[in-house]
């Protein structure tokens, strides 16, 4: 047993893990950061086993609302950087803050078990280490969620996690199942490269353009949030923008949503209406059953399909720790601010959120708050005790009044603006 009980163990060196490492380093908190792959990047490390991005992936949030709080993306970059630029950004962040020499690559974690004091972390090489605490930053968009439908499909079926390039679609009759942002992006790829393209979704979603009057749509919404425009007025504004920029649904063939704007992730896509309007993309409701190469839909329509791409999201999976240690409830752990265990002071999760905007900046503020709490336990016990009582008793509304659809994809949903402000206020209270 290797004794590192003076240190925290940060598991993962993706966008969340390096944010934790940077903020721990700044706060003088000793740590080891363990990464299974051979370099930094996590999900953005295209081609690595852990990565789920495909060749044409770009950020779905603009760079200004994605970047870390103290490390802006280059001004000359496009508003929606590519996955290659995102990876370059993460690695430059790590170089700038001196993180590379503090990360152990090729160090996969097999298990993390709590002890009377601290944790024992077992690595995939058989090594065991004792740590003061654990910071989980392994990401949650990697374990594919597969739906089940009656019948047998005789063609090829893959999850979007396996989709990498448009060559996989060429010459095939493609069905994409799942109406989220990834599903719509892949459906647009199929509209350009496949013999035929069909998109099936259980429900219709709100579709917004990525730009409005030359400005990223999420920055327009950010301005409304900053001006404290009420939710009902922002919904009206979103409907007007969609109507003006994309046209009314009854003209384009894109169905009307069955829920109010923001109750689910809106689709930021300027191409869906284009491909539907040009007859290159067919929209269908949910699948009813399979019969060989025939796919029958719940509205009675059917299609002959060669390849199904399931863009049906991911299960929240933390394989190296028992769910009982994480206060797991339903689809995900039940944690204060999706970060803090209600009882333990040596277990934290960074990046365990699904925001309606960019993520890097939010995990940066999460890591700052964790670092401030750990520092307060040592230097300001009265402030730490107030926070300890808060995290054990309060379950704040992370939707800021938005009632999200009760689906697995919303188990970790947060409204980014109010969530960010709450993180900042909590952090300021601990460091005052």
Domain finish residue from 310, 335, 367: 310
Tokens 């720790």 — which residue? 321
115/169 same-domain check = no
Q: What is the CATH number of the domain that holds 369?
A: 3.50.50.60
295/152 same-domain check = yes
pLDDT at residue 249, as a whole number: 64
Q: Which residues of 71-102 are buried (b: 16+ CB within 10 A; e: fewer)?
A: bebeeeeebbbbbebbbbbbbebbeebebeeb
Alpha carbons 124 and 103: distance in angstroms, whole number: 16
Alpha carbons 364 and 375: distance in angstroms, whole number: 16
Residue ranges of E strands in 163-293: 173-177, 196-200, 207-208, 211-212, 215-216, 267-268, 282-284, 287-291
179/211 same-domain check = yes
126/198 same-domain check = no
Alpha carbons 219 and 64: distance in angstroms, whole number: 8
Alpha carbons 312 and 160: distance in angstroms, whole number: 8
Sorting pLDDT into bands at 50, 70 and 90, what band is 189? very high
302/363 same-domain check = no
211/327 same-domain check = no
Domain finish residue from 252, 281, 310: 310
Backbone angles phi, psi at 430, to 5 degrees: -75, -30
pLDDT tens, 161-178?
999 999 999 999 999 999
115/8 same-domain check = yes
Q: Is the pLDDT of residue 266 over 90?
A: no
Domain finish residue from 310, 335, 369: 310
188/126 same-domain check = no
pLDDT at residue 409, as a whole number: 76
Q: Are 120 and 321 in contact (CB under 8 A)?
A: no
pLDDT tens, 207-263?
899 998 889 999 999 999 999 999 999 999 998 888 888 877 667 778 888 898 998
138/262 same-domain check = no
Backbone angles phi, psi at 148, to 5 degrees: -120, 130
66/171 same-domain check = no
268/329 same-domain check = no
Number of folded domains that form the chain = 2
pLDDT tens, 353-362?
999 999 999 9
155/283 same-domain check = yes
Domain hosting residue 355, numbered range = 2-143+314-431
Sorting pLDDT into bands at 50, 70 and 90, what band is 298? very high
Alpha carbons 358 and 300: distance in angstroms, whole number: 39
Sorting pLDDT into bands at 50, 70 and 90, what band is 407? confident
């Amino acid at each position: 047993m290797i004794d590192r009980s003076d240190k925290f163990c940060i598991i993962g060196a993706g966008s969340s893990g390096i944010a934790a490492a940077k903020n721990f380093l700044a706060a003088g908190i000793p740590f080891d950061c363990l990464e299974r792959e051979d370099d930094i990047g996590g999900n953005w490390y295209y081609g690595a086993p852990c990565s789920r991005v495909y060749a044409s992936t770009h950020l779905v949030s603009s760079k200004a609302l994605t970047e870390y709080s103290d490390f802006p993306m280059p001004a000359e970059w496009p508003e929606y950087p590519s996955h290659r630029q995102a990876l370059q950004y993460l690695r430059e962040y790590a170089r700038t803050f001196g993180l590379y020499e503090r990360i152990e690559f090729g160090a996969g974690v097999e298990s993390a078990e709590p002890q009377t004091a601290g944790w024992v972390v077992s690595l995939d090489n058989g090594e065991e280490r004792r740590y003061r605490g654990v910071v989980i930053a392994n990401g949650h968009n990697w374990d594919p969620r597969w739906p089940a439908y009656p019948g047998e499909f005789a063609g090829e079926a893959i999850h979007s996690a396996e989709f990498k390039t448009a060559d996989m679609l060429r010459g095939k009759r493609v069905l994409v199942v799942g109406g989220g942002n990834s599903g719509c992006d892949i459906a647009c790829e199929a509209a350009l490269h496949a013999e035929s393209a069909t998109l099936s979704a259980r429900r219709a979603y709100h579709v917004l353009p990525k730009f409005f009057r030359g400005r990223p749509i999420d920055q327009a919404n950010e301005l409304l949030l900053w001006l404290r425009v009420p939710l009902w007025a922002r919904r009206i504004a979103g409907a007007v923008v969609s109507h003006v920029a994309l046209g009314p649904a009854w003209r384009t063939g894109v169905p009307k949503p069955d829920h109010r704007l923001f109750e689910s992730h809106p689709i930021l896509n300027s191409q869906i209406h284009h491909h539907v309007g040009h007859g290159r993309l067919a929209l269908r409701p949910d699948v009813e059953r399979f019969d060989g190469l025939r796919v029958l839909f719940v509205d009675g329509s059917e299609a002959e399909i060669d390849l199904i791409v399931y863009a049906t999201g991911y299960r929240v999976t933390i394989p190296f720790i028992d769910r009982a240690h994480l206060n797991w409830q339903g689809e995900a752990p039940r944690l204060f601010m999706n970060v803090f265990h209600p009882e333990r002071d040596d277990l934290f999760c960074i990046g365990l959120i699904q925001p309606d905007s960019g993520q890097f900046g939010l995990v940066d503020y999460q890591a700052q708050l964790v670092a401030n709490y750990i520092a307060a336990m040592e230097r300001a016990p009265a402030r730490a005790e107030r926070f300890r009582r808060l995290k054990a008793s309060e379950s704040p509304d992370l939707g800021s009044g938005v009632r999200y659809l009760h689906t697995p994809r919303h188990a970790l949903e947060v409204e980014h603006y109010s969530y960010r402000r709450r993180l900042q206020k909590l952090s300021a209270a601990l460091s005052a």
